Amino acid sequence: MREVRRGALPDGLYGAELERRIAETAAAVGERLTTVPQVSNPAVAFVLGSGLGGVIDLLDPEPRLHVAYGEIPNVPGSEVAGHAGEIVAGVAAGRPMLLLSGRAHPYEGWSHRQATLLLRACLTLGVGTVVLTNAAGGVNPEFEPGDVMLISDTINLSGENPLLGPNLDALGPRFLPMADAFDAGLRAAAREAADRAGAALREGIYLMLSGPAYETRAELRMLRTLGADAVGMSTVHELLVARHQGARVLGFSLITNKATPEMEGEVTHEEVLQMGPIGAARLVTILRELLPGLA
Angle at 239 between CA 99 and CA 293, to 5 degrees: 55
* H and E: helices and strands count for the chain: 7, 9
Give Cα 178 distance to the centre of its chain: 16
- Residues 271, 242: contact at Cβ < 8 Å? no
Active site residue 234: yes
Active site residue 257: yes
Active site residue 50: yes
> Which letter does DSSP use for residue 223 in this model?
H
Active site residue 107: yes
Active site residue 112: no
What length does the chain have? 295
Burial class for 184, CB neighbours closer than 10 Å (0-12, 13-18, 19+): exposed
Across-strand partners of 212?
A: none
Q: Catalytic one among 105, 112, 237, 244?
A: 105
- DSSP letters, 121-133, are HHHHTT--EEEEE
Q: Catalytic one among 26, 69, 83, 97?
A: 83
Q: Catalytic one among 26, 45, 50, 238?
A: 50
Active site residue 108: yes
Active site residue 83: yes
Residue 227 sits at φ, ψ, to 5 deg, of: 105, 10
Rounded to 10 degrees, what is the CA torsion of 288, 291, 292, 295?
Answer: 180
* Cβ within 8 Å of residue 29, ≥6 positions away: 67, 72, 87, 118, 121, 122, 125
- Residues 80, 49: contact at Cβ < 8 Å? no
Q: Catalytic one among 19, 40, 144, 269?
A: 269
Active site residue 210: no
Catalytic site residues? 50, 83, 105, 107-108, 135, 233-234, 257, 269
